[in-house]
Amino acid sequence: MDLSTVIDENRINLELDVASKEEAIDALVDMLMQSGVLSSKEDFINDVYVRETAGQTGIGGGIAIPHGKSKSVLKTSLAIGRTMRPIEWESLDDEPVRCIILFAVREADSTTVHVRLLGQFAGKLADEDIVAALLNGNDAKEIITILSAEN
């Protein structure tokens, strides 16, 4: 899957001024709403929290990958946010999070596309250089280039 089809620089905020997981998710969902990816903010947020109860989305290293499969998603997309300060998030390494990649997945894409997308990101997030770029990069276009590059 070509990741550049789900990433847009209008859905990347490298200076999220949030103090909690809830504020971070809300801010990322706002970006998805503003870009026309969602039909209902409330429904999508509910679906994200349903997934959050199923298991930790903080994967360690300061990164979290919450996701929601929802009828309210019009186009499978991502929103990426980097917080100005670390925030508490249930994570595999029990460390706070600074970068959140929110997956918004159409119900029709909930099996194959969703699994492929998560698999591609898991591979990319295993690369220390990519994680460093997410945590320290200064430009949304740079983030898109790094994430869209073939491994």
Question: What is the residue extent of each domain of the chain?
Answer: 3-148
- Give me the residue label for tokens 């898109």: 144
Are 94 and 61 in contact, with CB atoms under 8 Å apart?
no
- Weakest-pLDDT range from 12-21, 89-98, 106-115: 106-115
The predicted model scores a pTM of: 0.91
Helices (H) and strands (E) in the chain, counts: 5, 6
Rounded CA separation 133/22 (Å):
24
Give residue-wise pLDDT tens across range 5-59: 788 999 999 999 999 999 999 999 999 999 999 999 999 999 999 988 888 899 9
Query: Which pLDDT score is estimated for 113?
Result: 64
Q: Enter the CATH code of domain 3-148.
A: 3.40.930.10
**pLDDT level of residue 119 (50, 70, 90 thresholds):** confident
| Residue 104, number of CB atoms within 10 A of its CB | 29
Amino acid at 131: V
